[in-house]
Chains A and B, each alone.
Chain A
Amino acid sequence: MPTRPAQDLQAPSPDAQDSFEQLRVLIDNIPDVVYIKDRQSRFIAANVAMAKLFGKTKVEELYGKTDFDFCEKALAEAYFADEQRLFKTGETIQSKQEEVRSEEGQNLVFRVSKTPLRDPSGKIYGLVGIGRNITDLASANQKLARQSQELKNRNLEVEFERRQLKTLIDNIPDFIYFKDRQSRFLNGNKAFYHSLKAESIEAIKGMSDLDFFPPEEAKTFLEGETALMEKGESVTLEEQGTKPDGSPRYLHTTKTPIRNPETDEVIGLVGITRDVTEIRRIRRELIQQSEALKKRSEETEFQRNQLQTLINNIPDFIYFKDQQSKFLNGNNMFYQGLGASTLEEIIGKTDLDYLPEEIATTFYEDERQMMLTGEPISKEEASKNRYGKPVVLHTTKTPIRDPETNEVVGFVGISRDITEVTRNRQILEKQTLDLQRQKEEVSAALAKLKQAQTKLVQSEKMASLGVLTAGIAHEINNPINFVYAGVNSMVKDFDDVKIIVEKMRTLATAEDKETAVAELEKLRETQYFDDAFEALEETLKDIKLGATRITEIVAGLSKFSRLGKEDWQVSDIHSDIDSVLVLLKNKYKTHIKIEKRYQQNLPRIECFPGKLNQAFMNILSNAIDAIDAKAKQGHIVIETSHDEDTVTISIKDDGTGMTDEVREKIFDPFFTTKEIGKGVGLGLAITYSIIQDHVGEMVINTSEGDGSEFLVKLPIRQKQSNKG
């Protein structure tokens, strides 16, 4: 309890000496400092506490002195200024804190009240001051103030942290929520109330899952929470829910019970729920992808194994070398081919370690060249196998480039042993050459044969022409003879007749007509007039006959001569056979009777008349020859007939006929029964081919000794395909 300062302190009256003395003891025993100062702030009275404060034991030591005598100047000035203001204004200084330095050098704090002292006229003559040392109190207060400030700061920090936390929590995409013991919502972050379509947490406070989820689901949630709160343990679980659109939703939730810190009783829970639907989907996809990847990687591995197995089992040498042509890798065939038993044995080595120097050097130079140019090599190489036997390899070397720098870092080589192949190829080439030569020989022989055949056909033709020539010469010379000699004889006959005719001219003018007639008559006898006249008539006929015969022969000949390329023509078979007979007449007329049994109105047929004439010529010639070979006389019957499509010509002789052996061969080229010079044996072969050209048939009926019949059947009309 603060001590009130003494008021109205006046110099004691003598009457009140004792009470003054009591007061004096009292004042001196007060722990507060008490003093009186005059208008100049000089101490006129003070108590012990005051003196003590300035380090004095007797109060009298202070009297007449000022604060300047005891205090630091700055403090003294401050006190002095306050006091002078008090004297001037008369206002009391109430409870002002003043700092004081004690005699011991201690900083002390005093709460000071200063009250003016007035004389009875009211004039201020001094002041009374009371100061209480509140140094301890001040420091306690200061501490308090400091603590309070700290608390305030702390509160600010807490508030800031709270706001940060709230912002953080509100912005966390997970649902964070607090529920009470009955699982009613107490609080929650934005994500939480937004997920429940609420604008603020206040809107849903007091509600529960039952208000938002299908009853079954909500019930499950609530039961879980109740159990959790009863057990008092936090739980992390995957929950399955349903989205407002009905699609499934997966939630990952951690729920932790909240306890009353004092009673340790569970009063609610805090939950953090994360919607993992998307995560689950992504994770599922990831798993699928990863599985696919794994599968692919397994496949790749499998394929790699397959490849490795394949490469190892390829019977070619496959190898990888680095830039220095050192072996990096190779298949079984390769290292075994070098005579090594494992792949490791050869790695880092070069061809020089395994092959003769010359061969290895050649390979090395090739490879250097390839490394420089980057151009792959594909060539045949001579090498030696591990037993030192020379082999031929077909080798392909392809540079391998660093995918980033594109620099050639090595190469892969594939070499195939083609020694055997090469040998076979050489043999084959030789065989091919031989074949080629043989083919050329055959070609040459064939060409010769063709030439010979042409010659033979020609000579056959010439032979038959030769046979013809005799007859034709005779046949043509006879009629020429009629004409030539006939004309000459006509000239003579005409001369004879002319004499008579001229004599007859004179008859009309003759004087003696009788004599003239008689002379004419005589002249007629002597000049063979009748003979000449008769001869003239006959010779004229003979000349005409001769001319006709010549024309016929020439026509026959010209038919026969068209043996080369000719066009299809419609021709009369009878007239064709007749022309042939004209040409052959000389051959048969002395001893063979030809009997023609031509069918009337035989259709003309489409044919090559020249070729057909040659065919008939050959058949008829043979018939004549067959008769000649047998007897002096003979018969040939030529008979024709036809049906709708075909004309049949039968040429039948009564000559020698044929043995079966001859019969079988008569169409063979070069088969002949005739003496040399009378054809080369192509006659019937050619005939056969001519009939075939006409899509006809030829049948031979023969028996030895009785003659032969050649039956030729020819289509009346040729098919377009044949004519083409």
Chain B
Amino acid sequence: MSAVAQRKYNILYVDDELSNLRVFKSTFRREFNILLAESAAEAVELLKTNKIDLLITDQMMPEMTGVELLHEIKKLFPNIPPNRVMLSGYAQPDDIDLAFEEYRLYKFISKPWDEDQLKNLIIEAIEAGNE
């Protein structure tokens, strides 16, 4: 807990649904520092200017999907740890497989998420990335 107390992890959540973004932030704003992005493009901009401990992204988004975003991140930031979680209502298994293999996806979670489960996964993913 001391670590938590020392500094809150920065988590970037990308989803084209504003409601999703808001509910996520309401739920986790106490434990984590939450950054929100309405699109993949916006997320890329935030990544450029912030140190992000964990990226959580939706898959089905207009213009750039979650997987495409991961691809973009790998291209832009080849060396950052694989702290990436996908949070999606649905995704094509092929796309997800690609994300795991190529884009260092840590976990895929289906909507709707459970608060405790997601919280534990966030911490687990960050710690796994930091090792």
Partner-B contacts on A (CB < 8 A): 470-471, 473-486, 488-490, 492-493, 528, 531, 535, 538-539, 541-542, 545-546, 586, 589-591
Interface residues of B in 25-76 (CB under 8 A from A): 25-27, 29-30, 60-63, 65
Which chain B positions have C-beta within 8 A of A474?
Answer: 60, 88-90, 111
Given contacts A475-B89, A477-B112, A545-B19, contact A538 B26 (CB under 8 A): yes
Residue in A closest to B68 when the chains form the complex, CB atoms = A590
Q: Are B22 and A539 in contact (CB-based, < 8 A)?
A: yes
Q: Are B61 and A478 in contact (CB-based, < 8 A)?
A: no
Which chain B positions have C-beta within 8 A of A480?
Answer: 111-112
Tell yes or no: B23 within 8 A of A by CB.
yes
Q: Are A473 and B90 in contact (CB-based, < 8 A)?
A: yes
Which chain A positions have C-beta within 8 A of B24?
Answer: 485
Q: Are A482 and B89 in contact (CB-based, < 8 A)?
A: no
Query: In the bound complex, how far is the Cα of B27 from the Cα of A479, in angstroms?
Result: 16
Q: Are A473 and B89 in contact (CB-based, < 8 A)?
A: yes
Cross-interface CB contact of A486 among B23, B65, B92, cutoff 8 Å = B23
Residue in B closest to A588 when the chains form the complex, CB atoms = B62
Q: Are B29 and A478 in contact (CB-based, < 8 A)?
A: no
Query: In the bound complex, how far is the Cα of B115 from the Cα of A573, in angstroms?
Result: 41
Given contacts A488-B115, A528-B29, contact A481 B90 (CB under 8 A): no
Query: In the bound complex, how far is the Cα of B62 from the Cα of A586, in angstroms?
Result: 9
Query: In the bound complex, how far is the Cα of B27 from the Cα of A482, in angstroms?
Result: 11
Which chain B positions have C-beta within 8 A of A539?
Answer: 22-23, 26
Query: In the bound complex, how far is the Cα of B90 from the Cα of A586, in angstroms?
Result: 9
Tell yes or no: B113 within 8 A of A by CB.
yes
Tell yes or no: B20 within 8 A of A by CB.
yes
Tell yes or no: B17 within 8 A of A by CB.
yes
Most buried by B among A479, A535, A586, A590: A590
Which chain A positions have C-beta within 8 A of B111?
Answer: 474, 477-478, 480-481
Which chain B positions have C-beta within 8 A of A477?
Answer: 89-90, 110-112
Residue in B closest to A633 when the chains form the complex, CB atoms = B63
Residue in B closest to A469 when the chains form the complex, CB atoms = B90
Q: Are B112 and A590 in contact (CB-based, < 8 A)?
A: no
Interface residues of B in 63-102 (CB under 8 A from A): 63, 65, 88-90, 92
Which chain B positions have C-beta within 8 A of A475?
Answer: 89
- Which are the 3 A-B pairs with shortest beta-carbon distances? A477-B89, A474-B89, A489-B26
Excluding A480-B111, A492-B26, 15 further A-B contacts by CB distance (< 8 Å) are A470-B92, A474-B88, A475-B89, A477-B110, A478-B17, A478-B89, A480-B112, A482-B20, A483-B112, A489-B23, A490-B26, A535-B22, A535-B25, A589-B60, A591-B62
Interface residues of B in 1-27 (CB under 8 A from A): 16-17, 19-20, 22-27
Which chain A positions have C-beta within 8 A of B27?
Answer: 485, 488-489, 492
Which chain B positions have C-beta within 8 A of A485?
Answer: 23-24, 27, 112-113, 115
Which chain A positions have C-beta within 8 A of B88?
Answer: 474
Most buried by A among B25, B61, B89, B113: B89
Query: In the bound complex, how far is the Cα of B73 from the Cα of A334, in angstroms?
Result: 110
Which chain B positions have C-beta within 8 A of A591?
Answer: 62-63
Given contacts A474-B60, A590-B61, A590-B62, contact A531 B29 (CB under 8 A): yes
Q: Are A542 and B19 in contact (CB-based, < 8 A)?
A: yes
Residue in B closest to A549 when the chains form the complex, CB atoms = B19
Which chain B positions have C-beta within 8 A of A542?
Answer: 19, 22-23
Count contacts between A and B, CB distance < 8 Å. 87
Residue in A closest to B92 when the chains form the complex, CB atoms = A470
Q: Are B61 and A481 in contact (CB-based, < 8 A)?
A: no
Which chain B positions have C-beta within 8 A of A486?
Answer: 19, 23, 26
Residue in B closest to A585 when the chains form the complex, CB atoms = B60
Query: In the bound complex, how far is the Cα of B113 from the Cα of A483, in angstroms?
Result: 11
Given contacts A475-B89, A586-B60, contact A481 B26 (CB under 8 A): no
Query: In the bound complex, how far is the Cα of B23 from the Cα of A691, in angstroms?
Result: 44
Q: Are B60 and A546 in contact (CB-based, < 8 A)?
A: no
- Min CB distance B56 to A, Å, is 13
Interface residues of B in 96-131 (CB under 8 A from A): 110-113, 115
Which chain A positions have C-beta within 8 A of B110?
Answer: 477
Q: Are B26 and A493 in contact (CB-based, < 8 A)?
A: yes
- Min CB distance B17 to A, Å, is 5
- Min CB distance B59 to A, Å, is 8
Residue in A closest to B87 when the chains form the complex, CB atoms = A481
Residue in B closest to A534 when the chains form the complex, CB atoms = B26
- Min CB distance A523 to B, Å, is 15
Query: In the bound complex, how far is the Cα of B16 from the Cα of A589, in angstroms?
Result: 10
Q: Are A482 and B60 in contact (CB-based, < 8 A)?
A: no
Query: In the bound complex, how far is the Cα of B25 from the Cα of A496, in angstroms?
Result: 15
CB<8 Å pairs between A and B, sample of 28:
A470-B92, A473-B89, A474-B111, A476-B89, A478-B17, A478-B19, A478-B111, A479-B19, A481-B20, A481-B111, A481-B112, A481-B113, A485-B23, A486-B26, A488-B27, A488-B115, A489-B27, A489-B115, A492-B26, A528-B29, A531-B29, A535-B29, A542-B19, A542-B22, A545-B19, A546-B19, A589-B16, A590-B60
Query: In the bound complex, how far is the Cα of B116 from the Cα of A492, in angstroms?
Result: 13
Q: Are A535 and B89 in contact (CB-based, < 8 A)?
A: no
Which chain A positions have C-beta within 8 A of B62?
Answer: 589-591
Q: Are A481 and B89 in contact (CB-based, < 8 A)?
A: yes
Q: Are B26 and A535 in contact (CB-based, < 8 A)?
A: yes
- Min CB distance A704 to B, Å, is 27
Which chain A positions have C-beta within 8 A of B19?
Answer: 478-479, 482, 486, 541-542, 545-546
Most buried by B among A474, A531, A538, A586: A474
Most buried by B among A478, A479, A531, A586: A478
Query: In the bound complex, how far is the Cα of B67 from the Cα of A48, in angstroms?
Result: 217
Given contacts A477-B110, A492-B30, A586-B60, contact A482 B90 (CB under 8 A): no
Query: In the bound complex, how far is the Cα of B19 from the Cα of A535, in angstroms?
Result: 11
Query: In the bound complex, how far is the Cα of B60 from the Cα of A542, in angstroms?
Result: 19
- Min CB distance A496 to B, Å, is 8
Which chain B positions have C-beta within 8 A of A488?
Answer: 27, 115
Query: In the bound complex, how far is the Cα of B24 from the Cα of A484, in angstroms?
Result: 11
- Min CB distance A625 to B, Å, is 15
- Min CB distance B93 to A, Å, is 10
Q: Are B20 and A478 in contact (CB-based, < 8 A)?
A: yes
Query: In the bound complex, how far is the Cα of B88 from the Cα of A483, in angstroms?
Result: 15
Query: In the bound complex, how far is the Cα of B16 from the Cα of A591, in angstroms?
Result: 13
Which chain A positions have C-beta within 8 A of B29?
Answer: 528, 531, 535
Residue in A closest to B118 when the chains form the complex, CB atoms = A485
- Min CB distance B21 to A, Å, is 9
Which chain A positions have C-beta within 8 A of B112?
Answer: 477, 480-481, 483-485
Given contacts A473-B89, A474-B90, A476-B89, contact A481 B30 (CB under 8 A): no
Query: In the bound complex, how far is the Cα of B89 from the Cα of A19, in angstroms?
Result: 222
- Min CB distance A210 to B, Å, is 146
Query: In the bound complex, how far is the Cα of B115 from the Cα of A589, in angstroms?
Result: 28
Most buried by A among B26, B29, B62, B92: B26
Q: Are A482 and B63 in contact (CB-based, < 8 A)?
A: no
Query: In the bound complex, how far is the Cα of B17 from the Cα of A486, in angstroms?
Result: 13
Query: In the bound complex, how far is the Cα of B63 from the Cα of A352, in angstroms?
Result: 107
Which chain B positions have C-beta within 8 A of A492?
Answer: 26-27, 30
Residue in A closest to B21 when the chains form the complex, CB atoms = A542
Which chain B positions have C-beta within 8 A of A538?
Answer: 22, 26
- Min CB distance A490 to B, Å, is 8
- Min CB distance B28 to A, Å, is 8
Query: In the bound complex, how far is the Cα of B87 from the Cα of A485, in angstroms?
Result: 13
Which chain A positions have C-beta within 8 A of B65?
Answer: 590
- Min CB distance A584 to B, Å, is 12
Query: In the bound complex, how far is the Cα of B121 from the Cα of A309, in angstroms?
Result: 115
Given contacts A492-B30, A528-B30, contact A481 B60 (CB under 8 A): no
